[in-house]
Structure 1
Amino acid sequence: MLSRLIAARRDANGDERVIASTQTNSPSLSDDDEPDLSAAAVEYVFQANIDQLPVVADEIAACTAKDETLSQVLQHCRTHWPKEAASSPLSAFFVHRSKLSEVQGCLLFGDRVIIPAELRQRILKALHFTHPGMVRMKSLARQFVYWPRITTDIERWVRNCPDCASAAKAPPKVPLRPWPSAGAVYERLHMDFAGPCSDGFKYLVVVDAHSKWPEVIKMNATSAPFLITQLTWLFSRYGFPKEIVSDNGPPFKSSELSHFCRSRGIKQTFSPPFHPQSNGQAERFVDILKRQLKKCARDDKEWVQNSLLAYRSTPSEVLRGRTPAELFLGRPIRTVLSLVKPGSGVQKGGKVHQDRDRMCRQFDRRHGTQQRPFNIGDRVLFLNYRQNKRMWLPGEVVEGSGVVWKVWAQDLRATVTRHSNQMRLSQPIPYQERPEQQQIPRTPSPERQPSPIQEEPPQHQATPRKVRFEANLPQDTNRRNSRRSDVRHVNGSRCNG
């Protein structure tokens, strides 16, 4: 509406210029013409905008007169714009000269007040007072103020705000980086704890990466010695794996288990803290076990054994129509359903990696993933988990590759391990002291590998996630009494001595 009230005139050079200053004489009017309302309209809009700003008109006018650039713009608005202004520092105003006007010694761009450089920080602080976010802050600024590159200044101000950074949403997930396909049975095992259940026990879940063959072991305790005892029984049946993958729970990070694995040539790999997706094979079966508990435990006292038998004998799309038992044992196992059609053929062949690629494409499409590479020395914000609260903290990348990185956190005075989905690049925050060089261990950046798991244990440990089950497993009366122990291995099959 303001543009329809402001009168446009042409100066001596033929340039169109807005005349809205209260000091400008209105052109002569005929008896039939209405009074010139342009100056009054601009005066009204100017005063309305000034009332919303943390500065007054007199202060803006004084700073405009002292500003080297705006003082020249003000002079040209009162007289005319020379052609050479198009290539001078005034070019940003020259291209919009038809929209410029003057009211009480202040410059207006349309109905927005042009703020001198001396007052811009105060205006930005006022616009960001309630931390409205980058988009809303821009919309608010467009109602009242203007200066060249105001959008860039607003974006920089929001990025450098520690409060906004700590409360920001998580960035888009990085593309899925699946585990390399295991070439043989028992080459890589994924482990995790489930429970405690309603019977007071926890269960150790072990899944073979190649065949998806699951093992469920009831645990009387989760101490490192007890865990080693159960793994010894498990390995006595199937042999030692090449690698075991687990979270950062105390039993898995213990020195006893580390010595046990080293002495048997077993490589330990740990998932990033608070990122169960990196150990998804075990986490997925824990979820299956929880669902089976809800559905079967009430009517079936042997729900664990029966669930394992059904899972091991069910064809899987991931295994190209084969069962875990066929890949793990080299043969189909006999169940009650085998009596219906004995000697049924077994599908062979297939390429597991095709299903893995399809899974990656589905994940990337569903989550809208984006490549977000990081480099050694990048300033980032990472998610910190303290007292059941997630908070973004600043840090610097000091080591890592792929999607797992080590970040030096000045606020924590420690180096933490994070997944790329738990990090995002950050602009430098004003007045934040950078960590001393001697406190940050710097190592050459290794060649990026496809593995999504950091092999070295991070300094911050995560307690194992506890999932409550409600089930009562009766003692197996068919077991031989001569070999009864405090803990029994639940695998759905009898071990041959």
Structure 2
Amino acid sequence: MHYIPKFLFIINNEDVNKFRKLSDSLSICHGCLVHGSRVVIPQSLQSKILDLLHLGHFGMERMKQLARTAVYWPGIDAAIEMATRRCDSCGEHQNKPSKPPVHPWMLPEKPWSRLHLDHAINFMGRDWLMITDAYSKYPCIHPTSSTSSRATLDLLEEDFAHFGLPHTLVTDNAPTFTSEEFQSWCKERGITHLTGAPYHPATNGAAERLVQTFKQALRKSSLPPKRARQEFLMQYRRTPTSCGFSPSELLNSRQLRTRIDTLLPSPAHIAQGKQSKEASKSQMTPDLKAVVKVTRQYKAGDPVYALYHGPRRDKQPRWVPAVVKKSLGTRCFNVMVIPHGPVWRRHWEQLQPRYTTEEDNEPGEEVDTVSELVTDHPMEILETVPQTRRQTKPKGTPSVPEYGPDNPRRSKRTRKPTERLCC
């Protein structure tokens, strides 16, 4: 091996200048120029060496690794890259390029503005039309026996009758969506129809994801397909998404009521309870509540004093002895004036407890035979005197005025003639 003297690189030649930086590693071995352990290939033989390196149709990196063990010339890496790119066989059978960063769809400004459509073909013995709203993720799924354009349009019109017409429909390039009938239908209704590149399902990823989720749910369910679809739709529409709101709330501005909601009190019940509590606090003190609870719990047969609202004579009682006949709720009662007087309707504020003696409970007295005359208005007073079972008052019973519509009060005072002053 002989090293090349450095004075030879003083020659001003383009080919020689390429080796000027490599002068320390160049040598001559058996009449060949060598760069380290690699033979320097002249320009006339470089194309043949490239063909030898590319015999296995390997990629650029493998060819470079192989070349670095045997051959060299200035710019060999660039020559290998160019030879690989120009190979027709490698270009026709190369792998797919790496996936670019995901470019998401823009979020619509309002719900039911952009819909994504797709078909789930031959699943569970039939086809399914899948619809999802890009804004709310609200799904609509319809079983169908045909994927024709007419059958698909009929199902779309059914949903549009509920939620209105969208602005945009996004589909794949299936014949159902690319037909002239489908295109004209969208044009007549002012709907923009967008399609992705053929065989690129990621463009319509929202619908593809709904198809995948729906298939997994039905495979896991033990219910018939019809029931399983209904259960899936209700749970999907009720479950909050990553934004914290459910599809039903985003689309309809209200939450669906499912069986899980029966565990919680409804807002109406909570509001009513708070209103009742506040009303009780404002109207009744704790002491009054205790008194009412003890003294104003009446039942049928309890002796009471009933307030008389008609005109009274002098020294006639305002509170009349009576017996509770029937409870008309929590605050109203039917009471009968004893012994056989009229039946009145009184509020509990118009009743007072009466403490009876043995004379008040005679064996022959029957209270339940008096007719109940009750009207629908809770505060109306029943002053009607019953026409049946009128008996003579037993001795010792206090006189009670029996006034009513048939027996108005009239004064029995003896009128004296007017004395006029005569002049």
Q: TM-score, normalised by structure 1?
A: 0.51
Partner of 2:144: 219
Q: Is the 8 A contact 2:107 2:135 kept in 1?
A: yes
* Shift in Å, 1:300: 7.2
Are 1:202 and 2:122 an aligned pair?
no
* Shift in Å, 1:168: 2.5
* Shift in Å, 1:298: 5.0
> Which segments of 5 or more consecutive residues in structure 1 lack a partner in the other structure?
1-5, 7-17, 20-76, 346-497
* Shift in Å, 1:84: 3.0
Q: TM-score, normalised by structure 2?
A: 0.60
Q: Is the 8 A contact 1:85 1:94 kept in 2?
A: no
The Cα offsets for residues 189-209 of structure 1, whole Å up to 9 and x where unpaired, read as 00000131233x100000011
Q: Is the 8 A contact 1:86 1:94 kept in 2?
A: no
Output the amino acid matched with 1:208.
Answer: D
The Cα offsets for residues 21-40 of structure 1, whole Å up to 9 and x where unpaired, read as xxxxxxxxxxxxxxxxxxxx
Output the amino acid matched with 1:323.
Answer: S
* Shift in Å, 1:102: 2.1
Are 1:334 and 2:257 an aligned pair?
yes
Are 1:122 and 2:45 an aligned pair?
no
Are 1:97 and 2:20 an aligned pair?
no
The Cα offsets for residues 137-178 of structure 1, whole Å up to 9 and x where unpaired, read as 111111111111111101111122122223333223222211
Are 1:151 and 2:77 an aligned pair?
yes
CA shift in 2, pair 1:123/1:88, >3 Å: closer
Q: Per the alignment, in what secondary structure is the counterpart of residue 215 of structure 1?
A: strand
Q: Per the alignment, in what secondary structure is the counterpart of residue 148 of structure 1?
A: coil
Partner of 1:81: 7
- The higher radius of gyration belongs to 2
In 1: Cα distance, 2:8 partner to 2:247 partner: 83
* Shift in Å, 1:226: 1.2
Partner of 1:260: 185
Q: Is the 8 A contact 2:127 2:146 kept in 1?
A: yes
Partner of 1:356: none
Q: Per the alignment, in what secondary structure is the counterpart of residue 195 of structure 1?
A: strand
The Cα offsets for residues 391-425 of structure 1, whole Å up to 9 and x where unpaired, read as xxxxxxxxxxxxxxxxxxxxxxxxxxxxxxxxxxx
* Shift in Å, 1:132: 1.8
Are 1:269 and 2:194 an aligned pair?
yes
Please tell me the root mean square deviation across aligned C-alpha atoms, in Å: 2.0
* Shift in Å, 1:86: 7.5
Residue of structure 2 aligned with 1:240, choices 162, 165, 168: 165
In 1: Cα distance, 2:224 partner to 2:117 partner: 28
In 2: Cα distance, 1:321 partner to 1:86 partner: 76
Q: Is the 8 A contact 1:189 1:244 kept in 2?
A: yes
Q: Per the alignment, in what secondary structure is the counterpart of residue 81 of structure 1?
A: helix
Residue of structure 2 aligned with 1:193, choices 119, 137, 162: 119
Residue of structure 1 aligned with 2:61, choices 135, 138, 152: 135
Q: Per the alignment, in what secondary structure is the counterpart of residue 291 of structure 1?
A: helix
Q: Per the alignment, in what secondary structure is the counterpart of residue 118 of structure 2?
A: strand
Partner of 2:413: none
Output the amino acid matched with 1:108.
Answer: V
Q: Per the alignment, in what secondary structure is the counterpart of residue 256 of structure 2?
A: coil
Aligned residues: 268
Output the amino acid matched with 1:158.
Answer: T
Q: Per the alignment, in what secondary structure is the counterpart of residue 47 of structure 2?
A: helix
Partner of 1:282: 207
Output the amino acid matched with 2:67.
Answer: A
Partner of 2:319: none
Q: How does 1:227-376 map to 2 (within 5 A)?
A: 227-297=152-222, 302-317=227-242, 320-343=243-266
In 2: Cα distance, 1:126 partner to 1:252 partner: 52
Q: Is the 8 A contact 1:190 1:206 kept in 2?
A: yes
Identity %: 35
CA shift in 2, pair 1:133/1:222, >3 Å: same
* Shift in Å, 1:186: 1.1
In 1: Cα distance, 2:41 partner to 2:67 partner: 11
Which structure would you say has the larger RCO, counting Cα contacts within 8 Å and 6 or more residues apart? 1
Q: Per the alignment, in what secondary structure is the counterpart of residue 196 of structure 1?
A: strand
The Cα offsets for residues 109-137 of structure 1, whole Å up to 9 and x where unpaired, read as 12211111111101100110001211111
In 1: Cα distance, 2:89 partner to 2:52 partner: 15
In 1: Cα distance, 2:226 partner to 2:161 partner: 28
In 2: Cα distance, 1:286 partner to 1:202 partner: 11
In 2: Cα distance, 1:86 partner to 1:267 partner: 69
In 2: Cα distance, 1:97 partner to 1:304 partner: 79
In 1: Cα distance, 2:221 partner to 2:12 partner: 80
In 2: Cα distance, 1:344 partner to 1:161 partner: 73
CA shift in 2, pair 1:94/1:144, >3 Å: same
In 1: Cα distance, 2:228 partner to 2:64 partner: 60
